[in-house]
Amino acid sequence: MEGNNGGKKSWLIAFEVAAVWFGAHVGGGFATGNQTMNFFVKHGASSIWLPMLTILMIGLAYRESLIMANNHGTYDYKSWSIKMYEPFDKIFSVIFELGYLSIVLLGTGGSIAGSAALLNSFGLNYAVGVIATSLVFYVLTTYGASLIRKASSVITILILVFLTIITVVGIKSNAGNLTNLIATGYSPTTMGASIYDAFRYAGYQVFVIAIVLSASDTLKSKGDVNRTVGLGVIINGVMITLSCIMLLAWMPSVSGETLPILYICKQLDSNVLIFSYSFLLLAAFVSTGIGCVFGAVARFENVLKVPHDLEKRRGIIALIAMLLSMGISFFGLDKIVAVGYGYVGIIGIFTVLIPCIVVGRIKNMNFAKNNK
């Protein structure tokens, strides 16, 4: 692999790809605090250190995946999965694709459910919120997808800024309770259960490599990949750790809340914070939902042969994806995250996470040895 000429340019390129990883990670489930609550915080004090280790594990899988993509020029997940899984690619590449499509539908369903739950917290009927949000998502996917994609990076930065402010204020406001929980070793579950959920979280999130791969063709060397993964681990690890510490500080009162960070904002009694966060959270749901649906459209628009008009074909695929996601959204954000993400995560542990770290490492070492 030819390297970029080092210095600021290499770090800028690395940051751009790391930002894609963070943008995919910081979707509605993360921004609400629901994911971190269900996979980490409910287990107690282990949520202070376990999230960073989980991100490191994901980073190892991403590192080998990105190196492999650079080795073979496979920047789309279909061709990458063939290289990763051969000679068993006919089985495992299909499993990877099914897993990725599952997170597309679950991500959209979760965005619809989260939007409906947010609107419900302000008095709108949940079912009405689901239908209204689905219609908005469909219209934006059909007519405004490019606008949303252009705005997604801005939305991601705003969420990063606001989540940082909220977590710092939230931790400070309940620091006494946090200190007490840590001192008493607050652990409602076993260490085994918390580690199991950490692996499930990693197993679910590792499918996001499909999105990161598509933005990684600018990485020209192993050094570029290392810088990207390093920055990604720092950004994602710090943010998820801060989120977990804040939520832990408000345990157990925040337990059982569908939108736990919004709950904390309301306890802080700041209307500016509540409405600013609510607006950005809704924007995050829209950005995530549109991105997921567009991913499904991009995957199947050239697979289907009818209708011949490309725009109509895209509209039909988007409608099917939206109807399936709307059906999923009626299970509610809690079930989508705890059950849906959890089951996909179990599949991901054995078919993506471990193979990327172990098999990917071996294949990359062999490639380097044979191409000296």
Instruction: Note the pTM of the prediction, 2 decimals.
Output: 0.88
Q: Give kind and range of the element (H or E) at residue 316.
A: helix 310-329
Single-letter code of the amino acid located at 71: N
Q: What is the percentage of the chain residues whose pLDDT exceeds 70?
A: 94
Question: Residue 144 carries which DSSP code?
Answer: S
| CA dist., res. 335 & res. 342, Å (int) | 10
Longest dimension (CA), the chain: 65
**Nearest C-alpha neighbor of 340 from the set 114, 33, 106:** 106
The encoded tokens of residue 186 equal 């607050």
Retrieve residue 49's tokens: 């250190």
pLDDT at residue 149 above 70?
no
Cβ contact 81:92 at 8 Å = yes
Q: Which domains does the chain have, with CATH numbers?
A: 7-367 (1.20.1740.10)
Q: Specify the pLDDT at position 146.
A: 65
Alpha-carbon distance 175 to 94, whole Å? 48
Report helix, strand or coil for 190: coil
Q: What are the CA-CA distances from residue 51 to residues 45, 157, 190, 239, 305 (Å)?
A: 11, 21, 16, 10, 44
Query: Cα separation of 112 and 201, whole Å?
Result: 21
Rounded to whole angstroms, how far apart are CA atoms 69 and 83? 9
DSSP 215: T
Q: For residue range 306-320, list pLDDT tens digits in order.
A: 778 877 887 888 888
For the chain, give the number of residues. Answer: 372
Range of lowest pLDDT (14-28, 119-133, 188-202, 351-365)? 14-28
Which of the residue ranges 137-146, 248-257, 341-350 would you say has the lowest mean pLDDT?
Answer: 137-146
**What one-letter code names the amino acid at 113?**
A
Please tell me what DSSP assigns to residue 207.
G
Higher pLDDT among residues 139 and 224, named by residue: 224
User: What are the tokens at 295?
Assistant: 């991913």
